[in-house]
């Protein structure tokens, strides 16, 4: 599994409600995207920064997604998004009471 963390500027002087409206409008890009397991959005309105935290099945799927997403974010925000790729060898899911390892083990 792979985690990507994307940081992007929010609209200067924008509100939380405006940021959520923008995010809601972007949902069709994510829903049902092959390889995307989960996405979290975090906002720091005071600092004017948003983040997307994604869990992917593979790096190839993440890179394919961000080829297009990078251009959309740049157009919408006027800035180049910061995108970090992180290996996720262990995932703890308390709702499912499961721990997954990259080698396929579950405990």
Average pLDDT of the segment spanning 62-79: 90
List, in order, residues 6 or more apart from 106 with CB less than 8 Å away.
98, 99, 100
Q: What is the per-residue pLDDT across 24-56, written as a single tens digit (0 to 9) for each?
A: 998 998 999 999 999 999 999 999 999 999 999
Whole-number mean pLDDT of the chain?
94
Distances (CA, A) of 84 to 91, 95, 105: 18, 27, 26
What pLDDT score was predicted for residue 77?
Answer: 86
In order of their start, the domains of the chain are: 2-101 (3.30.70.100)
Q: Is the pLDDT of residue 106 over 90?
A: yes
Could you tell me the pLDDT band of residue 76, with boundaries at 50, 70 and 90? confident
List, in order, residues 6 or more apart from 89 with CB less than 8 Å away.
1, 101, 102
Query: Could you tell me the pTM of the whole model?
Result: 0.88
Quickly count: other Cβ atoms within 10 Å of residue 93's Cβ. 11
Could you tell me the pLDDT band of residue 98, with boundaries at 50, 70 and 90? very high
Q: Is the pLDDT of residue 73 over 90?
A: no
Decide: helix, strand or coil at residue 47.
coil
What pLDDT score was predicted for residue 41?
Answer: 96
- Residue 95 φ then ψ, to 5°: -65, -35
């Amino acid at each position: 599994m792979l985690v990507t963390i994307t940081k992007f500027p929010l609209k200067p002087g924008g509100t939380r409600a405006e940021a959520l409206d923008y995010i809601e409008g972007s949902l069709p890009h994510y829903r049902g995207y092959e390889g995307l397991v989960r996405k979290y959005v975090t906002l720091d309105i005071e600092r004017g920064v948003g983040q997307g935290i994604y869990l992917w099945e593979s790096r190839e799927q993440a890179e394919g997604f961000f080829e297009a997403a990078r251009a959309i974010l740049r157009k919408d925000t006027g800035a180049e998004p910061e995108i970090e790729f992180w290996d996720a060898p262990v995932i703890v899911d308390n709702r499912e009471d499961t721990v997954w390892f990259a080698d396929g083990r579950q405990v």
